[in-house]
Structures are given as C-alpha cells and as structure tokens.
Amino acid sequence: MQDLTEVLWKKREIENYFFSKKILLEYVVSDIQNDLFAENEKQNRIRIMEEALDDALPGAARRDTEDSFWNDEKASEYMEKIFKYYFQKQSIPVTLSKNKYYELIDFIKLEEIDKEMIEKLD
C-alpha cells in the first residue's frame, strides 16, 4: 500500500460542495413543464424554497455565500430540514432524501465546480 495517498476535504462533508441557494432554487423548478401555468408554478416553488432557506439558515449564511457556515456545518442536516419544509408546504411527499442528494450535482455548471473537487478526484 505504498502508493496509497490519503487526502482530506476542506469542507465538512461532500454535500457541502453542492449545497447552495442557487442550486436548490434550480432544483425546485427543474421539472416544470413550459405551459400556461409554468411561470406561476415556478414563482410559487421559488417562494417556498426561499422560505425554507430563511427558516433553516443562520442570518450570516443567508447574506454571505462565502460565510464559514457553507464549509463547516453539516450540510446534509440543513438540507433535510429545508426539503422537509419545502415538500410539506407543497403538500407532497419528500422525494429528495439524503440518499439522493447527489442528484443536486446535475445543477452545478462545469465552471462552478469547486476546484478542490477537481484536484482531489483527478
């Protein structure tokens, strides 16, 4: 095992790399069909997700995307609260649980991928 190299992530857990307001807002509108009701549905979902974020996140994290919260806190615990609130307000079952958070990766643009992920996974 001489070739084995151990590395540590800077952020608390893998979910911290794809936990952001921008990504969550993109996720909640991603399956909306382009029809007569689309814009109203989109605005409703965005409003509910913003409420969920306001309810769950500390003030500094809501105001500053560079706040230490985004690296140091256990993102999965906050995501669980956020999605529970969001789906409850939508009156639908929670369809994005912890074992599916990886699906949020689809909403990260290539240029937005944290450089650390590229370094560590290459």
DSSP 36: T
23 is a domain residue:
yes
Identify whether the C-beta of residue 56 lies closer than 8 Å to the C-beta of residue 81: yes
5 is a domain residue:
no
91 is a domain residue:
yes
- pLDDT tens-digit map of 11-42: 999 899 999 999 999 999 999 988 888 999 99
**pLDDT class for 51, splitting at 50, 70, 90?**
very high
For 71, the domain range is 14-121
Identify whether the C-beta of residue 54 lies closer than 8 Å to the C-beta of residue 63: no
4 is a domain residue:
no
Domains in the chain, number:
1
**What is the value of pTM for the model shown?**
0.87
Structure tokens at 88: 């409850």
Identify whether the C-beta of residue 46 lies closer than 8 Å to the C-beta of residue 29: yes
54 is a domain residue:
yes
